[in-house]
């Protein structure tokens, strides 16, 4: 069985950096330049829009990079997603034979 995936890069914005600085009280934050996420392509084909579940997943993953080291839980909503991140779609399909994984 083949599973097709599409990749998307997530780049934090200055708004995200300022949010983290404010919540941690630290003036020096080392941001991860970008992270790439792979999502299964929906049956209708490639997309250029993240679902609300995908946005929630990315928010959780991105914030965990800073919550753990600073031992600070952050409060945010999915509505903040587009202020926090710039999205870059790659549109690359990865064909993985999941029977052999």
What values do phi and psi take at 70, rounded to 5? -95, -5
- The answer to whether the CB of 63 falls within 8 A of the CB of 24 is no
Q: What is the pLDDT of residue 14?
A: 93
Domain ranges of the chain: 2-100
Q: What is the pLDDT of residue 12?
A: 93
Which residues are CB-contacts of 35 (< 8 A; sequence separation ≥ 6)? 9, 10, 61, 62
Per-residue pLDDT of the chain (101 residues; tens, 9 = 90+): 556 778 889 999 999 999 999 988 888 888 888 888 988 877 777 778 888 899 999 999 998 888 888 888 888 888 899 999 999 988 666 566 655 55
- The answer to whether the CB of 90 falls within 8 A of the CB of 10 is no
C-alpha span between 63 and 55 (Å, rounded): 12
C-alpha span between 3 and 101 (Å, rounded): 11
pTM of the model: 0.80
């Amino acid at each position: 069985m083949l599973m097709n995936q599409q990749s998307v890069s997530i780049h934090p914005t200055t708004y995200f950096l300022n949010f983290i600085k404010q919540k941690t009280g630290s003036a020096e934050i080392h941001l991860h330049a970008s992270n790439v996420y792979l999502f299964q392509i929906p049956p209708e084909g490639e997309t250029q829009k993240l679902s609300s579940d995908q946005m929630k997943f990315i928010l959780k993953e991105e914030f965990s990079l800073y919550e753990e080291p600073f031992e600070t839980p952050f409060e945010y909503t999915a509505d903040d997603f587009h202020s926090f991140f710039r999205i870059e779609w790659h549109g690359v399909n990865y064909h993985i034979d999941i029977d052999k994984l």
